[in-house]
C-alpha cells in the first residue's frame, strides 16, 4: 500500500496515530494501512509517517504482524504499551487522530497516556484518501465481486418451492465461502414475494411460493474487501407486471451507467436513473439513493444521492442500485459494483442482469 498519499490530504501533521480497539472499536483504517490479511489486533496501534509505518501490537499477533513486512514492536500488557507509545512519540508535538473511529473512552485514555501532545482530527483526510482505490485494492475488489457473481449462478438451483428465506441466505453464504470468500461482507437480504418491497428486509421463516419475486442482496468478503450485489429473479413464470417492473429498473440502471465517468456529479447519476423510474407508473417508488462507495466497508462513503454533491473521480469504486418497491406486491432492485474511469465506467460484478425465471 502506498500509504504516504494520506499526507497529500493531512498536510497539517507529519505523524498519524491509528488506534485499533476491541470488537466494537475496530478502525478499518488500521487494516487499510497495514494490509494485514489475518489477525484481529485488539488494542494495537500504527504510527504513520510519510516515510515509515510502524505497528505496535501484542505478542499474540506478532506472527500476523510480521507477515505484513512492516516494522513491528510488541508489548506485554498496557504498561508496556504506554511505555512504547511514549518512546515512539517523544519528539512529536502534534499527532493526527482518526476521530471518526475513536470512542470517547479511547480518547480520554489517550489524554492520560500522552497528555503533553496536541491532537488534530485527520479523519476527513483519511476518508478522502480511501475514496481513491490503489491497484492492490482494486485487485481484491475484483476477486470479491467475482466470487459474488459466481455464487449467484451457484445459488439458482437451490431456489425451490418451500425453501425458507433463512435457508437460502445460509446456502448463499456457504457458496461464497466455498468459492474463496472469508465470509459475507454484510448480512444478506433475502426476500420472497411481498417482502421484497422492503429495501432493508431481514430474512425470516417465510417459505417460497410459485411465481414470486426472489430478491437477493449479498456480497463476499475477500481479504477484508467487500462486494455488494443485488439480483431479483422470479421463481416460476413472471407476470406482465413483474416483467414491466423489472425492465424499468433495468432501464434506470442502464441510464445511470451511461452517465458515470470522472468529474460527473453523483447527484446527476442518481437523476439519470430516477428520471427513468419517475417517468413510469412507478413514480415515487424509488425510495433510496442510487449508490454508495464500496471498499473495506460496504458503505465506504457516499456517492450517488439526489441531495449530495459528490464529484466522481477515476478509481473510485461505487454501486449502482436503482429499485422499485410496491407495498404488498414486491420490489425489484438490480445492483452492481463499478469502477469509475476517465471516460466511463467498468462494471466488475458479472452476473447476468437479465430477468431470470427459475
Q: What is the pLDDT of residues 35-49, one digit of tens each?
A: 998 999 999 999 999
Q: What is the pLDDT of residue 34?
A: 95
Q: What is the mean pLDDT of the chain?
A: 95
Q: How confident is the model at residue 289 (pLDDT cuts 50, 70, 90)?
A: very high
Over residues 151-187, the pLDDT tens digits come to: 999 999 999 999 999 999 999 999 999 999 999 999 9
Cα distance between residue 247 and residue 136, in whole Å: 36
Average pLDDT over residues 191-197: 98
263-282 residue pLDDT tens: 999 999 999 999 999 999 99
The residue behind cell 449508490 is 291
Report, as an integer, the average pLDDT of 142-147: 98
- Residue 1 pLDDT > 70, yes or no? no
For residues 313 and 58, give the distance between their C-alpha atoms in angstroms, rounded to a whole number: 39
Residue 30 backbone dihedrals phi, psi, to 5 degrees = -60, -45
Q: What percent of the chain has pLDDT over 90?
A: 91
Predicted structure pTM score: 0.94
What pLDDT sits at residue 352? Answer: 98
Domains of the chain: 3-131 (3.40.350.10), 135-347 (3.90.230.10)
Identify the residue whose cell numbers are 490479511.
37
Give yes or no for a contact between 327 and 197, defined as CB atoms under 8 angstroms apart.
Answer: yes
Residues 347/337, Cβ–Cβ less than 8 Å: yes
Over 80: is that where the pLDDT of 303 sits?
Answer: yes
pLDDT bin (cut points 50, 70, 90) of residue 146 is: very high
The residue-averaged pLDDT of 61-84 equals 95
Q: Give residue 72's pLDDT.
A: 98
DSSP state of 194: G
Q: What is the pLDDT of residues 327-349, one digit of tens each?
A: 999 999 999 999 999 999 999 99
How many CA atoms are closer than 13 Å to the CA of 52, on its beta-carbon side?
7
**Residues 345 and 260 sit within 8 Å (Cβ to Cβ):** yes
Lowest mean pLDDT among 8-12, 62-66, 167-171: 8-12
- CA atoms of 102 and 116, how far apart (whole Å): 19
Going by pLDDT thresholds of 50, 70 and 90, the confidence category of residue 25 is: confident
Percent of the chain with pLDDT over 70: 99
Q: So what's the pLDDT on residue 2?
A: 65
Amino acid at each position: 500500500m502506498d500509504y504516504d498519499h494520506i499526507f497529500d490530504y493531512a498536510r497539517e501533521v507529519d505523524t498519524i496515530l491509528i488506534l485499533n480497539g476491541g470488537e466494537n472499536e475496530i478502525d478499518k483504517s488500521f487494516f487499510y494501512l497495514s494490509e494485514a490479511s489475518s489477525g484481529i489486533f485488539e488494542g494495537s496501534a500504527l504510527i504513520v509517517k510519510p516515510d515509515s509505518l510502524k505497528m505496535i501490537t501484542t505478542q499474540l499477533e506478532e506472527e500476523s504482524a510480521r507477515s505484513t513486512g512492516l516494522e513491528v514492536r510488541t508489548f506485554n500488557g498496557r504498561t508496556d504499551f504506554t511505555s512504547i507509545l511514549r518512546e515512539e512519540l517523544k519528539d512529536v508535538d502534534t499527532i493526527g487522530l482518526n476521530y471518526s473511529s475513536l470512542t470517547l473512552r479511547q480518547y480520554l485514555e489517550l489524554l492520560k497516556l500522552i497528555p503533553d501532545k496536541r491532537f488534530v482530527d485527520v479523519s476527513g483526510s483519511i476518508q478522502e484518501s480511501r475514496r481513491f482505490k490503489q491497484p492492490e485494492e482494486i485487485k481484491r475488489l475484483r476477486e470479491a465481486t467475482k466470487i459474488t457473481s459466481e455464487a449467484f449462478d451457484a445459488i439458482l438451483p437451490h431456489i425451490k418451492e418451500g425453501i425458507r428465506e433463512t435457508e437460502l441466505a445460509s446456502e448463499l453464504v456457504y457458496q461464497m465461502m466455498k468459492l474463496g470468500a472469508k465470509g459475507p461482507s454484510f448480512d444478506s437480504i433475502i426476500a420472497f414475494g411481498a417482502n421484497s418491497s422492503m429495501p432493508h428486509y431481514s430474512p425470516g421463516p417465510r417459505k417460497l411460493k410459485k411465481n414470486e419475486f426472489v430478491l437477493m442482496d449479498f456480497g463476499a468478503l475477500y481479504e477484508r474487501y467487500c462486494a455488494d450485489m443485488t439480483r431479483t429473479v422470479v421463481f416460476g413464470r413472471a407476470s406482465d407486471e413483474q416483467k414491466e417492473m423489472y425492465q424499468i429498473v433495468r432501464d434506470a440502471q442502464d441510464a445511470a451507467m451511461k452517465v458515470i465517468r470522472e468529474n460527473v456529479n453523483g447527484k446527476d447519476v442518481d437523476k439519470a436513473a430516477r428520471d427513468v423510474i419517475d417517468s413510469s407508473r412507478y413514480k415515487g417508488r424509488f425510495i433510496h439513493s442510487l449508490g454508495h462507495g464500496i471498499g473495506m466497508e460496504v458503505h465506504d462513503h457516499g456517492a450517488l444521492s439526489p441531495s449530495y454533491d459528490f464529484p466522481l473521480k477515476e478509481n473510485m469504486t461505487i454501486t449502482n442500485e436503482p429499485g422499485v418497491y410496491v407495498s404488498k406486491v414486491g420490489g425489484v432492485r438490480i445492483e452492481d459494483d463499478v469502477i469509475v474511469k476517465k471516460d466511463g465506467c467498468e462494471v466488475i460484478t458479472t452476473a447476468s442482469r437479465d430477468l431470470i425465471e427459475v
